[in-house]
Structure 1
Amino acid sequence: MEPEVVYDLIDYHLRECIKREVKMRVCKNCGRYFALTGRTNTEYCSRPFDEKGRTCREVGAIALWTKRKSRDALFQDYRREYKNRFARMKAGKLEPEELYAWDERAREKKAECEAGRLSPEDYAAWLRES
């Protein structure tokens, strides 16, 4: 395609976006502009981001969740123990029902700890001993 044709296409699309008042935003994951369609609080584009075919929207949401949870010491303790138990379940040393029952109790204990009825040290000890 000739450069003039490409410039004409870009110019046409840009003018159409302005005429239709299409809002643009910078993707918080890849830093490229994208058009806001649908939800106006979208922070990530839907372009493919990695070789697995995941989009910025998928990768960005996971990264944000990980960043927020990395500051939560209670969640880190819970997650570490959950991963150990999940590995035991996958190895056949723990029944899925046992894991799910433990998970429910661990979440209840975490809620007690967040409410101030249980100290973080006691919660961590309970996780190790349960």
Structure 2
Amino acid sequence: MRKCNRRKLPFRICKNCRRYFALSRNKNAEYCEHPFAVPTKTCKEIGALNQWERKKADSPALKAYTHEYKRRFAWSRYGKTTEEVFYQWAELAKLIWDACLHREITIETFLEWLRHVGI
């Protein structure tokens, strides 16, 4: 912290490990670059993953979309369907997911579409 004060660098408290860190490149950074828990992962990597998991847990539509995406990706990996069919489905699913986010369709309609399209 003293070095930051001497150099007039802005600093912030990491949302993951609660240590101070200097803001050098990204002025909006919320996580530091220090190793956290696992020596190969940094607070920045773990923080982003935790944030994604919290977001996914809060939204049943995102949870269902992620589950269906992983399922269909596995199908393409193991030859049950082609990659072309998977990517076509993924593009269409993304468009419908965006419509759900913008409240053009309901979550129930989106979930129903996920369950019954392309099976």
If the TM-score is normalised by the length of the shorter chain, which range does it land in?
A: 0.7 to 0.9
1:48 matched to 2:35? The reply is yes
TM-score, normalisation: structure 1 = 0.75
What does residue 11 of structure 2 align with? 24
TM-score, normalisation: structure 2 = 0.81
1:123 matched to 2:110? The reply is yes
Return 5+ residue gaps in structure 2 as ranges: none
Q: 2:93 aligns with which of 106, 109, 114?
A: 106
Note closer, same or farther for the CA distance 1:43–1:112 as it changes in structure 2 (3 Å cut).
Answer: closer
1:53 aligns to what SS in structure 2? strand
| In 1: Cα distance, 2:95 partner to 2:24 partner | 40
1:59 matched to 2:46? The reply is yes
- Shifted more, 62-71 versus 110-119: the winner is 110-119
The residue type paired with residue 116 of structure 2 is: E
Displacement, 1:55?
1.1
1:93 matched to 2:80? The reply is yes
Q: 2:65 aligns with which of 57, 61, 78?
A: 78
How many residues in Structure 1 have an aligned counterpart in Structure 2? 117
Larger relative strand fraction: 2
Whether the 8 Å contact between 2:4 and 2:11 is mirrored in structure 1 is: no
Return 5+ residue gaps in structure 1 as ranges: 1-12
| In 2: Cα distance, 1:72 partner to 1:116 partner | 14
